[in-house]
Structure 1
Amino acid sequence: MNINLQDMNLIDLLSEKHLALRKRVTQMDPDNINKTESHILAVLKIHTMLSISEISRIIGISRQGTHKSIQGLLSHGYVETAEVAGNQRDKHIVLSPNGVECNRKILVIKKQLEQQIISKLGHKNVELIKTLLKEDWLDV
């Protein structure tokens, strides 16, 4: 066990585990997309179509940072721009077929990692963690 984790509060512990898991996913990804790009693809899978500003708000980084990541995803064919009737100002982003396939590969990786976590913590504990994280315990 990492001695540095012993003195951390809940917020920092969750952040550390989140960063470590995102890093592991990107290291195992055959498409070599970074953690921000991976996060954007996951958000687009859920929301189908979003503007760059909306993506920025959801993932919590600057619009400029999001724009740079979107440009990388566009250049590799993982996302496409979409026209929205009545909105000429904002670019809207959708998953391309390559992006859908990339998300599928990343989901396989995530399931493998979840199995590794289950083998260390036990199925019952992982289900408890998932249940607790799904609870509405933040007033945001």
Structure 2
Amino acid sequence: MTGPAKNLPQLFLEAKRWFDDALLASMRAAGEQPVSIAQGAVFAVLDDEGTSISELARRIGITRQTAHQAVHGLIGMGLLEQVSDPASARSSLVRTTAEGTRVHQRAQTALALIEQVLADRIGADAATALRRALSEPWGQPPSVEAP
């Protein structure tokens, strides 16, 4: 028995999980330290010169406490470090260590290969169209009234 068609947010979530699962399995198979999805998300939004934990939380869309936990787990693994913010004596920034940069570059290479697997499975034209559609500006989220 089939249910109602999945809406786009459900499909996006399943696609995100597919990529997350593939990346985590690939990194584990390569012998890298396991990281959580939240920890992996930190790397995706981290500036080269460093980023505050509050800004990381905002970019990822998680609480500051969750970002703090993810960051400190990565610091404990030797992948990130916390340094003084040169613009503010009361603040600190989080940035990658040399090991964190190596692991992040390996993850980026794995993601490119995973994207190629997806293109092989759904077709290069479909993968290109998907990337193009998701790269278009969507504007501000609308507020609609359901009938």
Q: TM-score range by the shorter chain?
A: 0.7 to 0.9
Structure 1: where are the runs of 5+ without partners?
Answer: none
Distance 1:4 1:90, change over 3 A: farther
Partner of 1:19: 17
Judged with a 3 Å threshold, the aligned counterparts in structure 2 of structure 1 residues 57 and 139 are, in CA distance, closer, same or farther, namely same
Are the counterparts in 2 of residues 31 and 102 from structure 1 also a CA contact under 8 Å? no
Structure 1 residues 43 and 5, CA gap change in structure 2 (3 angstroms): farther
Q: State the shift of 1:6 in Å.
A: 6.1
Question: Which residue of 1 is the match for residue 145 of structure 2?
Answer: none
1:7 partnered with 2:5: yes
- Secondary structure at the aligned position of 2:55 is classed as helix
Aligned-pair Cα RMSD in Å: 2.0
Which has the larger share of helix?
1
CA distance in 2, matches of 1:119, 1:7: 25
Counting only pairs closer than 5 Å after superposition, residues 1-140 of structure 1 correspond to structure 2 as: 7-29=5-27, 30-44=32-46, 46=47, 48-140=49-141
CA distance in 1 between counterparts of 2:2 and 2:19 reads 17
Q: Gaps (5+ residues) in structure 2?
A: 142-147
- CA 135–5 in structure 1, closer or farther in 2 if over 3 Å, else same: farther
Q: Which is greater in Rg?
A: 2
Identical residues among aligned pairs (%): 22
| Partners of 2:39 and 2:71 within 8 A in 1 | yes
Residue correspondences, number: 137
